[in-house]
Amino acid sequence: MKFRALVILFAAHGLLGCGDDDTHLTRDQLVDPETCKTCHADHFTDWAGSMHAYASEDPLFIAMNKRGQRETNSMLGDFCVKCHAPMAVHEGATTDGLNLANLPPKLKGVTCFFCHTVDAVRGDHNAPLELSDDGITMRGEYRDSVKNTAHHTVYSDLHDRDEAASATLCGSCHDIVTPAGAAIERTFQEWRASVFSMTKGASCPQCHMHELPGLRPIAMAPGVFARKYHEHAFPAVDQALLPGFPNVDAQKKAIHDFLATTVFSSLCVAVKGDGTAAIRVVLDAAGAGHDFPSGAAQDRRLWTEVIAYSDTQVIYQSGVVTDGMAPTANPDPDFWMIRDCMLDAQDRPVSMFWQASNYETNLLPAQLTFDALDPRFYQSHIIQNFPHDPTAHFGKIPDRVTLRLRFQPVGLDVLDDLIQSGDLDPSVRSSMPTYDISFSPTLDMPLLEWTATNMSMANLRWLEDGDATPVYCVSPSGLNVQTRTPTTNHLKCSP
């Protein structure tokens, strides 16, 4: 797989278009990200290792689009490719994405030109973005742009990370409704329902375009002065699976760090007077500005692994998944998997989005308020019982209980389905990571442990409703577990 070359030949030793005369590059030149690299080298390096640059190369996208076109008799059309290669659609170079391998690199992925020439958003899902007509005016967050020979520049609140309007630019592409009407990706909708949409400076770019400390020039051109710099790597939870993609190690670290700030957790043990016990796990996606996991949640796999020990013997376990095993293959009746389930018109589970007419979900909900005195504050504190029957207990108090929060960006069962249909190379499967989400943003803590020896010193405690059974908890994030919302685990697609 060949990716964009890192060298481009320009007259004037690579600085063509970076001067201050009142002439400009052509639209055709500006469409190419390699042109942008000449003046915006750091931005280009960030972007080149991002999932935006990877969008057209992604073997999962290619496989799903190929299968979807076949199974819908080409009725899927540009549904996938208008997000994964929007310039190719805009320029009339493709109608279905099946010919992307034959197109020039400048038309692949979500490019600089596409994002920075958007001047209107005409809806809230399925990429309803309108590009400017002149093609030589770039939109950005700076009101005092420096005159240059590359392009005109104008301020746009759609591109200003401090303005809520910037979320509409991101969100309208990251909310997807299937042709049959299923809202299978709802990240923008989730954000709009959360407290973050009502908070100044809490738009999508605030989390997904990190601001580096200090000031630095954002272009290599005469007269450009130091400004705040925002990275263009767009870290989230997906990662490149193909070998040779730029910055893949940095991308993996960014995902690890991103996940560590997303979910707050408590691990608890309920101890009854008769010497029996049960486990309680509380999760809160307080660090996300939307539900978690978000995006293509029908394909994501988030689950808890809970193991209880007496001496060294395992007396209870749930969610134990062997490396390389699809988590959906686990027959455990107490398995807590957090995901979306797609349904057809007859309310039956389906595996591919073009088959979906509806969905059901048990995602961790976004935070509704920052006010701890508001009852809504605790609606995102989701509790699960182990065993799931809240009246059930195992026969002794464990010495030790461990919790792992495990995550696959795309489930191995999804890959297996595409491999079986002949649309995905089997070698891709081994590249799909399983993350053990750290329970601390500052420490590498993939395992949370409760022990009987420190039960009396557990940093949190509550009395269960009904029988006042004491529940002892440990929480590295200090999650207040006094008020909790029970979850549902009975999705139609649950294992």
Angle at 253 between CA 201 and CA 83, to 5 degrees: 60
E strand or H helix that includes residue 383: strand 382-386
CA atoms within 13 A on the CB side of 322: 5
Is residue 396 within 8 A of residue 315, CB to CB? The reply is yes
Among residues 12, 58, 5, the alpha carbon closest in space to that of 34 is found at: 5
Give helix then strand counts, H and E, for the chain: 13, 22
Non-local (6+) Cβ contacts of 447 within 8 A are: 402, 403, 404, 436, 439
C-alpha dist (Å) from residue 13 to 39, 220, 225: 12, 13, 22
Give percent above pLDDT 70 in the chain.
94
Q: pLDDT (tens digit, 9 = 90+) per residue, 201-252? A: 889 999 999 999 999 999 988 889 999 999 999 999 999 999 999 999 999 9
Q: pLDDT (tens digit, 9 = 90+) per residue, 106-159? A: 999 999 999 999 999 999 999 999 999 998 999 999 999 898 889 999 999 999
DSSP state of 242: S
Query: Given this model, what pLDDT does residue 372 score?
Result: 85
- To the question of pTM greater than 0.75 for the whole model, the response is yes
Is residue 96 within 8 A of residue 75, CB to CB? The reply is no
Is residue 97 within 8 A of residue 74, CB to CB? The reply is no
Among residues 477, 440, 478, the alpha carbon closest in space to that of 460 is found at: 478
Distance (Å, whole) CA 165 – CA 159: 8
Non-local (6+) Cβ contacts of 383 within 8 A are: 280, 281, 282, 481, 484, 485, 486, 487
370/477: higher pLDDT: 370
Q: pLDDT (tens digit, 9 = 90+) per residue, 331-345? A: 899 999 999 999 999
Query: Given this model, what pLDDT does residue 219 score?
Result: 92
Q: pLDDT (tens digit, 9 = 90+) per residue, 451-480? A: 988 776 666 778 887 778 888 999 988 777
Among residues 48, 470, 81, 472, the alpha carbon closest in space to that of 231 is found at: 48
DSSP string across 150-186: S-EEEE-GGG-TTSTHHHHHHHHHHEEE-TTS-EEEE
* pLDDT band, residue 8 (cuts 50/70/90): very low
Query: Given this model, what pLDDT does residue 454 score?
Result: 75
